[in-house]
């Protein structure tokens, strides 16, 4: 985790603007006052959407919501894959066959 405004400056992000995004709920303020790589990447994405693509606030909210859903689904799939891998072989084969039938 990088410390406060220095991390924002290195990422070419305006600290005041990032604070506005925190107020919007688009980025979470860490209790430690720093920023994770994920926080910085999300802030850079918001900046790029606004400045490079001209996306308005409503559009940014939609993009961020969809990205959050995508990340949640990927985590759920990793969990499901881990669960299936942990099953005894006959049950694992049965579960995989059921999943294949469901794609049908």
Give the separation between CA 2 and CA 98, rounded to whole angstroms.
Answer: 45
What are the residue ranges spanned by the domains of the chain?
A: 1-55, 56-104
67 vs 10 pLDDT, higher one = 67
At 88-103, the pLDDT tens digits run 999 999 999 998 998 7
Q: With 0-12 CB in 10 A as exposed, 13-18 as middle and 19+ as buried, what is 7?
A: buried
At 72-85, the pLDDT tens digits run 999 999 999 999 99
Confidence check: pLDDT of 104 > 60? no
- The answer to whether 7 and 35 are in contact (CB under 8 A) is yes
């Amino acid at each position: 985790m990088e410390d406060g405004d220095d991390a924002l400056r290195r990422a070419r992000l305006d600290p005041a603007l990032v604070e506005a995004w925190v107020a919007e709920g688009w980025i979470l303020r860490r209790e430690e006052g720093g920023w994770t790589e994920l926080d910085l990447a999300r802030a850079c994405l918001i900046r790029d959407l606004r400045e490079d693509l001209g996306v308005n606030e409503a559009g940014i909210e939609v993009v961020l919501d969809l990205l959050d859903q995508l990340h949640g689904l990927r985590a759920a799939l990793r969990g499901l894959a881990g669960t299936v891998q942990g099953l005894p072989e006959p049950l694992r084969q049965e579960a995989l066959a059921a999943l294949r039938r469901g794609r049908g």
